[in-house]
Structure 1
Amino acid sequence: DGVDSKNSKAGPSSLIDELGVQQPNTWPRKEAHWCRFCPYSSRNAFNITRHERGHTGEKPFRCDTCQKAFSDRTNFARHRRVHTGERPHQCRTCGKAFVKGCHLLKHERIHKVE
């Protein structure tokens, strides 16, 4: 994989230091799990698995209906609503429903203007 595990798990790489890139609040951390490809770390091993899929392109969740693949179970579950018609986020003012909660929040702004 081309990553020196001793150096990659010790903290931010010298290239990142040289570029002056701001690191997320991930280092130093006790009992952390480390990404094999970058300095990202998390206390939760699942977060590392999900994060590393961004590097590897792995998409283990595949829609049986349209074959679209997803790296994240949450996005896969949201996608299935396209096929089922489920719209779980409903406006309390007018009853209009949405697949995504963020679309409901945007919609609700129209009622505040009235």
Structure 2
Amino acid sequence: MRTHTGEKPHQCSKCDKAFPKNSDLIKYMRTHSGEEPYQCSQCDKAFSNNSDLIKHMRTNTGEKPYYCSQCDKAFSLKTTLITHQRTHTLERNHTNAANVTRLSHITVIL
């Protein structure tokens, strides 16, 4: 419910940042402490949160769980997929703009 009300009762003791959930504050506090409790089992890299470790592990395993529904390309990060999907939208918009330009030109000739 705090998401909807904007209430952020969990205040960082080091700065002015505040959070709706205590778990978010705990994660954030690692930016001040430099704590990196999530260790990669394949290399010496460590991370302050588990989601960053999971993303990193995909580079080691080659796992690409995010697929483009238009061209079947696969991506390890959802953000990369979203960026890629925009290329399809831009291609369509560019094609539509080119067709409109051609139609306008044909209309002028007629």
Which TM-score applies when normalising by structure 1? 0.67
Q: CA RMSD in A?
A: 1.6
User: Superposition pairs for residues 7-46 of structure 1, below 5 Å?
Assistant: 32-46=9-23
Residue aligned with 1:94, SS: coil
Letter in 2 for 1:36: S
> Aligned pair 1:68/2:45, yes or no?
yes
TM-fit CA distance, 1:101? 1.1
Picking from 66, 69, 94, the partner of 2:71 is: 94
1:79 aligned residue: 56
Comparing 42-51 and 57-66, the one that deviates more: 42-51
Which structure carries more helix by proportion?
2
Change in 2 beyond 3 A, CA 1:110/1:41: closer
- Matched residue count: 85
- Can you give the 5+ residue segments of structure 1 that lack an aligned partner in the other structure? 1-28
Q: 1: distance between equivalents of 2:33 and 2:49?
A: 13
Q: % of aligned pairs identical?
A: 35
* Residue 103, structure 1, aligned to residue 80, structure 2: yes
- Runs of 4+ residues deviating >4 angstroms: none
Rg bigger for which structure? Answer: 2
- The gaps in structure 2 that reach 5 residues or longer are 1-6, 93-110
Taking the aligned partners of 2:16 and 2:85, their CA distance within structure 1 comes to: 40
Matched with 2:101 is none
Deviation at 1:110, TM superposition (A): 2.5
SS in 1 for 2:86: helix
